[in-house]
Amino acid sequence: MRVGASGAVDASAAHALLHAGLRWQVPARFNIAQVCCTRWARGGTPAQARRTAVAWESGDGDKGRRGRLSYAQLQTQADRLSHALRARGVQRGDRVALVLPQRPETAVAHMAIYQLGAVAMPLSMLFGPEALVYRLQDSGAVLALADENTIAAVQAVRAECPALRTVLAVGAAAGQGDADWAAVLAAAPGRRFVPEDTAADDPAVLIYTSGTTGPPKGALVPHRALIGNLSGFVCSQDWFGHGPPERSDEVFWSPADWAWTGGLMDALLPTLFFGRPIVAHQGRFSPERAFELMQRYRVTHSFLFPTALKAMMKAVPAPRQRYRLRLRSVMSAGEAVGDAVFHWCEQALGLTVNEMFGQTEINYIVGNCQRWVDASGQEQPGWPARPGSMGRAYPGHRVAVIDDQGQECPRGTPGDVAVHRQDVHGDPDPVFFLGYWRNEAATAAKFTGAPDTGWCRTGDTAVMDADGYLWYQGRSDDVFKAAGYRIGPSEIENCLVKHPAVANAAVVPKPDAERGAVVKAYVVLALGCHGDAALVAELQAHVRGRLAPYEYPKEIEFIDALPMTTTGKVQRRVLRLQEEARAATGGAG
């Protein structure tokens, strides 16, 4: 992504210049595995093939296991796995579930699935049985890969997923599935796998997002969407992959789970696209370990959630006094960074954190960029970050705040953040998802206007100021973020209502200084039931055992009735505003 300007460029003009200079180049035939692996392993120089693709580590620090996987090794293993998957009946378009953490096999599996023309469906290792069953059933996944952390959960629900023919055991899960990773790769043909000739519009990834009404929706993401992500990735990482020769030592690490868009599309795939190493750490996040990893692997670029940055700030206020860090750029997303963390990054890490905004359906569309590199290789100032702002539209994306009728709102007026199907040049924007899996109504509701020239709504409300910076106001619906995780109340409410003591429930965010928000549930009890501390603990365990740990309500309040509309819908907004008012006055929940 080079812009043909040279000489000094004023920061105020950088944004317009980058938008004017970027033209999307989307080939008709395109495959993520080819651009993220094959071209480095076989189409580049021998040095590129030998370069580390994944530096991995499992366990805690020096007690764990470590290793490296070159691009050539990544390709060889991906070829073997593609042969093995095809032999087990996986065909083009089939969904393959990856219930795996950050580990080298996860990267191999993604490449193998893409070049097979199948669809990768990453699933969080934190999912409980109900969350797993729904996604495996709804997607019709035919094969699942699981390691020692997740295979028991997958096997426990397998009987309820008739389409799931094969469970492949990874790592220490050997012997607990239908076949073992090591044996399968050893037995597979050693010859090169001939990849499927995929179109840029063919589906590549299916990621389920939390819904506000009804169950989670599967967002079907095409191969071309990676191209649409790249301008934001490059800008938010201060021109990653485009610096002068002395900056080609880039190494990326993020604690973001590769099962989510943030870890997959904002870390793993774009890093491999640029032929750089990414660090995979299989273990729990801790501030000290984060700094140790960055020091050990000489990490230069990272994606760190605000929650992670807050923990790092509190645990290690002066990191450069304890660690030898090479960090040059940090992107943060998921919630607002806040002034305290923003200034700590400047003072303690020596960099200005670039905030970013996006979602699975239309990712990496808005954010900040501290510097960029012009056609002559000279660094230029980007557009300055404004603490508290979401940033500005990244090059290639036409972003606006629109009203209910799909018209752009005047500057300073709140509206729905939306992305136009066409960029500023009138070219199609490749960032868009294909639609929600088997849910045409939800897909149609996401868009406003003509199919090729309309807007796609994010569902987030913001104000755009005179300079084009967006200022977040809240969700247009009831989805909220808690500690960086996107929470859909419907799934939690449905889980609560399954408990015999619960007649009805509503889930809303409760403001929290540390995590931005925590999950709170308002519960109407069934006749004859009594709400006490024991029942609170029982309900929390009920949700925690069925969904993901971050989804269980940290607080439960028993009430006689939920606020309802005249049409019988729960007014979560009333409860949310009540929590905000209590927080503002310091009142108890």
Average pLDDT, the chain: 91
The tokens of 78 are what? Answer: 């991906």
Band the pLDDT of 7: cuts 50, 70, 90. very low
Per-residue pLDDT tens for 258-276? 999 999 999 999 999 999 9
Beta carbons of 373 and 379 less than 8 angstroms apart:
yes
Domain annotation for the chain: domains and CATH numbers: 29-221 (3.40.50.12780), 399-475 (2.30.38.10), 480-585 (3.30.300.30)
Confidence tier at 6 by pLDDT (50, 70, 90) = very low
Could you give the CA distance from residue 302 to residue 318 in angstroms, rounded to a whole number? Answer: 18
The pLDDT score that the predictor gives to residue 60 is 58
The SS3 call for residue 372 is strand
**Pairwise CA distance, residues 362 & 225, whole Å:** 8
Whether residue 74 contacts residue 53, with contact meaning beta carbons closer than 8 Å, is answered with yes
Q: How far apart are CA 587 and CA 589, in angstroms?
A: 7
Helix, strand, coil percentages (3-state) for the chain, rounded to 5, are: 35, 25, 40
pLDDT tens digits, one per residue of 78-106: 999 999 999 999 999 999 999 999 999 99
Structure tokens at 103: 């580990």
Whether the CB-CB separation of 193 and 115 falls below 8 Å is answered with: yes
Q: What is the pLDDT of residues 537-564, one digit of tens each?
A: 999 999 999 999 899 999 999 999 999 7
Distance (Å, rounded) from C-alpha 528 to C-alpha 241?
A: 64
Angle at which helix 533-544 crosses helix 489-497, to 10 degrees, equals 120
Q: What is the pLDDT of residue 569?
A: 65
Percentage of residues of the chain with pLDDT beyond 70: 93
Q: What confidence tens digit (pLDDT) does each residue in 300-357 have?
A: 999 998 888 988 998 899 999 999 999 999 999 987 787 788 999 999 999 999 999 9
Q: Are strands 217-222 and 252-253 parallel, antiparallel or unpaired?
A: unpaired
Overall average pLDDT of the 177-183 stretch? 97
Residues 6+ apart with CB under 8 A from 58: 64, 65, 66, 103, 281, 282, 283
pTM: 0.86
On the question of pLDDT at 5 being above 50, the answer is no
Q: Please, where are the H alpha helices in 364-482?
A: 440-446
